[in-house]
Amino acid sequence: MLLDILTADKTLFSGEVDSITLPGSKGQFQVLNNHAAMVSSLDKGIVKTQSKSGNQTFEIKGGVVEILKNKVVVLA
């Protein structure tokens, strides 16, 4: 699925990933392919991504995530 991590300053990440772990405000959760459409608020924490080319982590200070039709947008 396609992931974009945006901040007001710049785009932190944009690309294809297999799984994303997010610090949701009600607890950490993971998003895999074909996840249901969802909007969630995020707490301060770490976003972990997994893809064939390797794993990456990003630190965020809270935000919102929108998941829709295999397109994930994290607004940090």
Partner 1 sequence: MANLKEVRIRIASVSSTQQITKAMKLVSATKLRRAQNGIVQMRPYAQKLNGILANLSESVDVDSVKLFFAERQIKNILMVVITSDRGLCGSFNANVIKLTNKTIKEKYFAQSENGNVSVLTIGKKGFEFFNKTTLPVISEFKDTFLNLNADTGFEIGTKVLSDFRAGKFDAVEIIYNQFKNAATQILSAEQFLPINKASFSNTTAKNNDYIFEPSKEGILEELIPRILKTQIYRSLLDSLASEHGARMVAMDKATENAGDLLKGLKVEYNRARQAAITKEISEIVGGAAALSS
What residue ranges bind partner 1 (CB under 8 A)?
6-11, 24-26, 36-42, 62-64, 66, 68, 73, 75
Identify which of residues 8 and 52 has a Cβ nearer to partner 1 in the complex: 8
Look up residue 10 and give its amino acid.
Answer: K
> CB of 16: closest distance to partner 1 in angstroms?
18
Identify which of residues 17 and 60 has a Cβ nearer to partner 1 in the complex: 60
Write down the residue that tokens 């994303």 correspond to.
Answer: 20
| CA 4/CA 73 separation, integer angstroms | 5
Strand-pair category, 71-75 with 2-6: parallel
